[in-house]
Structures are given as C-alpha cells and as structure tokens.
Structure 1
Amino acid sequence: MNKIVAKNVGKQFGREWIFKNFSFEFLENQSYAIIGSNGSGKSTLMKILTGMMPATMGEVDYVYNEKKIDSRDWFKDLAIAAPYLELVEEFSLKEMIDFHTNFKKLSVKREELIKILGFQKSTYKPIKFFSSGMKQKLKLALAMYAKSKVLFLDEPTANLDEKNIDWYVENIKEVSANKVVIICSNQQYEYNFCNQIVNLMLFK
C-alpha cells in the first residue's frame, strides 16, 4: 500500500454537512494528524477512510504501485484503535491477544506484548475487570504492534493517566516507522511527532 487517496469526500447527516470536498493523499512512511474542533467530523472521516462508513460524496482509494486495491481487501493493511471499537470483555488478556492474532498478526510475541503493556500480573484476568485506562492501553497496543501498513488512532490517550500517556508517546514513535500513521486528535502531545497536520475545519 503506497498511499490512500481521498477525492472530494464529504459526509452529510440529515440536512447538515459535517464536512465536504475533502481531498488529500496520505503517503507511506508519513504520519498525519487530523485536527478540528469537537463535532468537526474527525471520527467520521476516520470511519470513511477505513471503510467502516460510506461517504455521502467523493471516494477513497487505497493504491499500491499505481493500482487500486479492492475495498474488500483494505482490512488486510489496517490497524485501528478507537473509542467506538470494543474488546471482548469475557476473554482474559491472554485470550484476547490470541483471538486478535487470528485476524491480525503482531510484530511481537504475546508474552512480549504483555510485557510492553506492563500487564504481566493480569495475563489471566478477564478484560471486564480491567479499568478503562487498561482497556484503552490494550486497544492501542493491539493496533500499534500489529503487522499493518496503515495505523489509525482516534483520540489515542482517552482514559489514560499521565504515566500511560508517557507510555503512548514513547511507543508510538517506535512503531510509526514504515507505516502510514493517521491520528485524529485535539491533543498536541498525541501527534507532535507527525509530519503533517490536516485541519478538518478547512473543509466545511
């Protein structure tokens, strides 16, 4: 996957346009921050870019060697962490990681990921007993350490305390090489490593 191309993308709910005429190329080995005030459509745009939601206007293409990738195959290249994506709370941490790797391989082994998380004492603990911060950290780790060409993060440090925000800042820099990284955020510390900033307010 060499690039993601958005062409005149817009989303309308009822009579209201959230944004429109969004055109941009996201290139490999680059990191992007999508910013904008609350309600500007950052999460909506991410859902469109990942194929989770159809656009009202325009189109999104994933391109490899100048050839479009079928939208049904996009998921092979994507890793996503977002507040609206849930974990299987009946699983233990070990079971959740094993289940996840059935669909998306990781760049590290399960034991190494648990060590990176600092969750060694929670290996067999059901996810439903995790704090909201632990759940968010697990979502991030599963996405950040996936073998993917594109990494999407929406409000990555939501529910994280200061210590775990530092964990995110340290680890995101390590895993962002050789990927397209797209972060939707209004917190500068979440995206200050990004090469480009895209202000969605310009597409109203």
Structure 2
Amino acid sequence: MLSVQLNHLSKKFNKEWIFKDLSYTINAGDKVVILGGNGSGKSTLLQVISGFITENEGEVIYKVNDKVVPVDKIKNYISFASPYIHLVEEFTLTEMIDHTKIFKPFVKDLSTEQIIELLDLTKARNKLIKQFSSGMKQRLKLGVAILCDTPLLLLDEPVSNLDANAIEWYKNLVKNYSQNRTIIVASNAIQDEFFICDKQLNVMEYKKQ
C-alpha cells in the first residue's frame, strides 16, 4: 500500500496563498477526507498530492512498502476522478475503457464488458462519450478511477452531477473496491462523498494569517 507525507506544503496563485505550511501524514490504507468550502483550496491540495500541479514550498513524499516513489513515477500508482479531468469525447465507452487499459490495469483483470456492467452503462457501450449526460460522464470517471488497480485513489467531489440512484451506486462501488488502498476525498462536507473516510483534514486551518 501507499503512504503520503505532506511536509510544510504551501501553494499560491499569483500573490494569494491557497494554503500555507501544511504538514500531514496519510498512512498506507488511510481513508482521508479533505474538507473545505468552494474556493477553499481543497481541490488544489488534491492536485498537488496527485502531482498534477507543483507546490511552491515544501514537499510531498510517497512510499510504497516503505520505499520512496519518485514524483515523476507517482502517476503509475494513482487513480484520480474529478470534474476538471476531461474525457476523450470522440471515443465510445468501449474504446475509452480499452484505451485506459493500455496505461493502467483494472482490478481482478476485469474485462471491458465486466467494467461496463459495473458502471451500469451497458446500453451505452457503443455510444460516443460526447453524447453522454453529465451524470453518465461522472459515473464513467468514478468507475474507471475506482476500478483501476492502483494503491492510491483520489476523488474530488465524487457525487457531483449524480442523482440519488447514482450516489448509491458510487457508495457501493467504492466500498467494494477500497480494500488495501489509500483513499483521499475532497468534499464540501457532503456525507455521501466521504462516508468511507475515518480521518479529516480541514484545509481552512492552513490559510496564511
């Protein structure tokens, strides 16, 4: 499993500090929620943890079985679902899943058809992603991230664009595929998003005074 150590992290855009001197330990197998309202910096922190953007100060240290993982390799260990990650809209659902398999394996060697069934999108298997509703796109992002065989799962506001039935689908899927994984969820304090988490990090506590 994978652990994440945040050491004196600071991030700013232009001249505004988003968070300052943030230190936090996420042990292997922890389920952590990053809490904060809109514009609080929780999504920015999640992106720094993912390696998508870099911190201005401090460092993020990743370890698998107590061995340090270089930052430029961490993408191989992470699955990430968020509203700002774009799908390849010219792909069909089947093509999207097959394309993902090239870069990351799925858990239990799931077949493309099994994944489509787990996404509950069997009727859309040959539909172009650009024809999907926002809820279907969110279901696809979440399903692919959760079902990829990675030790670190990052979820940014996972129930965005999901109706009540889809929220229950999300909760069941993440519960069934969370074993032996470190999970970090960014949330506006919506309980359904982070029901699985047992630790909290409030980004508002790390604003520059």
Letter in 1 for 2:64: Y
CA-to-aligned-CA distance 1:43-78 (integer Å, 9 cap, x gap): 100111011101011100112343321111101110
Partner SS, residue 111 of structure 1: helix
Greater mean alpha carbon deviation, residues 137-146 or residues 192-201 = 192-201
Quote the residue 1:102 is aligned against. Answer: 102
The aligned amino acid for 1:6 is L
Amino acid at match of 2:119: L
User: Alignment partner of 2:29: what SS?
Assistant: coil
Q: Which residue number in structure 2 is paired with residue 126 of structure 1?
A: 128
Q: Which runs of 5+ in 2 are unaligned?
A: none
Q: Which amino acid aligns with 1:175?
A: Y
Distance 2:120 2:38 in 1: 32
* Alignment partners' CA distance in 2, 1:125 and 1:13: 39
Q: Does 1:62 align with 2:65?
A: no
Deviation digits for residues 2-54 of structure 1 (CA, Å, limit 9, x no counterpart): 41111000111122111111111111122110001211101100111011101
- Of 167, 190, 195, 2:193 maps to 190
Count, aligned residues: 204
Q: Is the 8 A contact 2:116 2:122 kept in 1?
A: yes
Distance in 2, matches of 1:30 and 1:16, equals 31
- Measure, in 2, the Cα distance between the counterparts of 1:112 and 1:162: 23
> TM-score, structure 2 length as denominator?
0.94
Task: Give aligned-pair identity as a percent.
Answer: 40
If the length of structure 1 is used for normalisation, what is the TM-score?
A: 0.97
Partner of 1:202: 205
Instruction: Evaluate the alpha carbon distance shift between residue 125 and residue 25 of structure 1 in structure 2; reply closer, same or farther with a 3 A threshold.
Output: same
**Which amino acid in 1 is paired with 2:161?**
N
Cα deviation, residue 197, structure 1: 1.1
Indicate the RMSD between aligned Cα atoms, in angstroms.
1.0
C-alpha separation in 1, matches of 2:5 and 2:136: 34
- Kindly provide the amino acid, as one letter, of the partner of residue 195 in structure 1: D
Once residues 66 and 189 of structure 1 are traced to their aligned partners in structure 2, the CA distance between those partners, rounded to angstroms, is: 32
In structure 1, the gaps of 5 or more residues are none
Shift of 1:96: 0.4
